[in-house]
Chains A and B, each alone.
Chain A
């Protein structure tokens, strides 16, 4: 059996380590399997940091090219933390560049993509639920935009992607305690901002209507 057949057989079982090893040997198909799995996370992180779909798109593509070319430097550990570290560094570089040469963001024109394209909403959901989730996401994105980028990154990694503190620390290249404090500050600020815009939250996500608050009363 050839090596590629071994790899093909493995992809069906999604063995990340084997895919990484194959990609490190130059197997582009193996790398693309990894890419398909992580591209949404990479793109979303880029979007949260850059606040511009076109810039996030470019950063995502560049990240995967850089990752493929630098894959031999990956020495194990969390692959997604390594991947997201690349994209976050790329985004910080882009933000510094934008600071020097400010440009108009597509966000200034509103959220064009999904409002114009309802097919992007999960088809498994009832239409009103899907709409509420999109509204929620838009509200969270607007709220998060008020946070400093470091806090935004911590919040996205831990609360949206479910990273452990250790993984987040690896991605952000900071100490564990820094992740803890940034995350706490980000949550506190989000809490305050969401309270100011509580009426914009879809009813099912409002704190006053939640079962926890009912219990407290």
Chain B
């Protein structure tokens, strides 16, 4: 006969009919012969029996689902996915803010000058008979207002003379000649730069010039015929509207990021 200390695990499994046939038989035999073992089994059975008779707690309410609850739950789930959107918004707001700061700095400190060089600008301002017949082409060659103003400003009479002065810094002693539209200005091509220039007359001397259809040609050289040899580099000032628009975009993205964080 098997003599062993029966464990609580075996007694517990016996109560639930979870022992194999051989072990169950052995335990049943032991129970018949051992009062202490029967008591142990009864003590272990007590909580099991109490649990079975103890009532379940009443639910405080019914948990019936409605379509609205399911939809709301789906909405909450999509909101939990928001962080990815939030990261994107943050990145966009950062980039926009950096770009805005750059543009604002450019507006405030870099002054107001065209980015184009004289050499870049010259071909765009050529005045030829060919182009004069094609309004679209002439339109494309129009000078910017800044360029025009710069070139007009080089003519003041108070500036000191200089041999190697560029046309932008034309001295008063070398006044610019202007070929007015009503005058007879014959377009020519200069040899050294291949650019089409319009000769301007000043006391019988031809000087290279640039012009626009319907507007006055402007001299690119002094009356001695010296053509501007080097391009003049200046900085580009961002237009005000672009800076303002970027500022607004930055503010909008900042607000959207803040709102996403709150929710």
The answer to whether A binds B is yes
Cβ of B85 < 8 Å from any Cβ of A? no
A134 proximity list for chain B (CB < 8 A) = 55
Q: Which residues of A contact B (CB under 8 A)?
A: 28, 31-32, 35-36, 39-44, 47, 53, 57, 60-61, 64-65, 68-69, 113-114, 120, 122, 133-134, 136-137, 140, 155-156, 158-160, 162, 165, 180-181, 183-185, 187-188, 190-191, 194-195, 205, 207, 210, 212-213, 216
A133 in contact with B16 (CB, 8 Å)? no
Specify which of B52, B63, B67, B70 is in contact with A35 (CB 8 Å cutoff).
B63
Chain A proximity of B1: nearest CB distance (Å): 21
A28 in contact with B70 (CB, 8 Å)? yes
Chain B proximity of A9: nearest CB distance (Å): 21
A136 in contact with B65 (CB, 8 Å)? no
Q: Which residues of B contact A (CB under 8 A)?
A: 7-9, 11-13, 16, 18, 35, 38-39, 42-48, 50-67, 69-70, 73-74
Chain A proximity of B23: nearest CB distance (Å): 12
Chain A proximity of B248: nearest CB distance (Å): 41
A165 in contact with B12 (CB, 8 Å)? no
**CA gap between A53 and B65 in the complex, in Å:** 20
Across the interface, name the chain A residue whose C-beta is closest to B67: A28
B9 proximity list for chain A (CB < 8 A) = 180-181, 184
A-B Cβ contacts below 8 A, count:
126
**CA gap between A156 and B48 in the complex, in Å:** 10
Specify which of B48, B50, B56, B70 is in contact with A205 (CB 8 Å cutoff).
B50
List the 8 shortest-distance A-B pairs measured between CB atoms, nearest first. Answer: A159-B51, A190-B47, A184-B12, A184-B9, A137-B54, A43-B59, A120-B58, A188-B8
A35-B65, A43-B59, A160-B52 given. 19 additional CB < 8 A pairs?
A42-B63, A43-B57, A43-B60, A69-B70, A69-B74, A120-B58, A134-B55, A136-B50, A136-B53, A155-B47, A156-B51, A165-B18, A183-B16, A187-B8, A191-B46, A191-B47, A207-B43, A216-B35, A216-B38
- Pick 13 A–B contacts, CB within 8 A, sort by A: A28-B70, A35-B64, A35-B65, A40-B56, A40-B58, A69-B74, A113-B58, A122-B55, A133-B54, A160-B54, A188-B8, A191-B46, A195-B43
**CA gap between A187 and B46 in the complex, in Å:** 9
A191 in contact with B63 (CB, 8 Å)? no
Most buried by B among A31, A68, A190: A190
